[in-house]
Structure 1
Amino acid sequence: MTTAANENAQSQPILLITSSPNTVDAVSTNLAKRLAEGLAANAGDGGIVHRDLGADPLPHLDSTTIGAFYTPEEDRSDEQKAAIALSDELVDELIAAGPIVIAAPMHNFGISSLLKVWLDHIARYGRTFLPTGEGPKGLLADRPVYIVTSRGGVYGPGTPFNHLDLLEPYLRRVLNFVGLEDITVVYAEGTGKGTDGIQAAEAEIESLIAAEAA
Structure 2
Amino acid sequence: MNILHLDSSPLGGHSVTRELTAAIVAQLRRDNPGSRTVRRDLAADPLPHWAPAADAATPAARTGGEVLDEFLAADVVVIGAPMYNFSVPSQLKAWIDRIVIAGSTFRYTATGPEGLAGGRRVIVASARGGFYGAGTPGAAADFQEPYLRQVFAMIGIGDVQFVRAEGVGISAEQKAASLAAAHAAIDTRQAVAA
- TM-score strictly above 0.5: yes
Tell me the amino acid that sits aligned with residue 80 of structure 1. Answer: A
How do 1:177-196 and structure 2 match up within 5 A? 177-193=154-170, 194=174, 195-196=176-177
Match runs of 1:28-177 below 5 Å = 28-64=17-53, 79-82=55-58, 83-177=60-154
1:122/1:211 Cα in 2 relative to 1: closer, same or farther (>3 Å)? closer
2:10 is matched with 21
Q: What is the RMSD computed on CA atoms of the aligned residues?
A: 1.7
8 Å CA contact 2:7, 2:43 repeated in 1: yes
Q: 2:14 & 2:106 partners in 1: Cα distance? A: 35
Unaligned runs of 5+ in 2: none
Q: 1:188 to 1:118 in 2, by over 3 A?
A: same
3-state SS of paired residue (2:188): helix
* Greater C-alpha Rg: 1
More helix by share: 1
C-alpha separation between the residues in 1 aligned to 2:134 and 2:36?
Answer: 33
Deviations 1:6-62 (A, max 9, x none): xxxxxx321111110112231011111100111112113122111110111111112
Length, aligned pairs only: 189
CA distance in 1, matches of 2:114, 2:192: 31
**Cα distance, 1:81 vs. partner?**
3.3
Give the superposition deviation at 1:148. 0.9
Which of 171, 181, 192 does residue 200 from structure 1 map onto? Answer: 181
Secondary structure of 1:80 counterpart: coil
3-state SS of paired residue (2:96): helix
Preserved CA contact (<8 Å) 2:186 2:192? no
Checking the alignment, whether the CA contact within 8 Å between 1:156 and 1:187 is kept in structure 2 is no
Residue-by-residue CA offset, 1:152-183 (whole Å, 9 max, x unaligned): 11111221211111100000000111111101
Distance 2:161 2:191 in 1: 15
TM-score, normalising length: structure 2: 0.91
Deviation at 1:210, TM superposition (A): 8.8
Identity, % of aligned pairs? 40
The structure with more strand, counted as a fraction of residues: 2
Residue segments in structure 1 that go unaligned for 5+ positions in a row: 1-11, 68-78
Give the Cα–Cα distance (whole angstroms) in 2 for the partners of residues 105 and 115 of structure 1: 10
Retained in 1: the 8 A contact 2:123–2:192? no
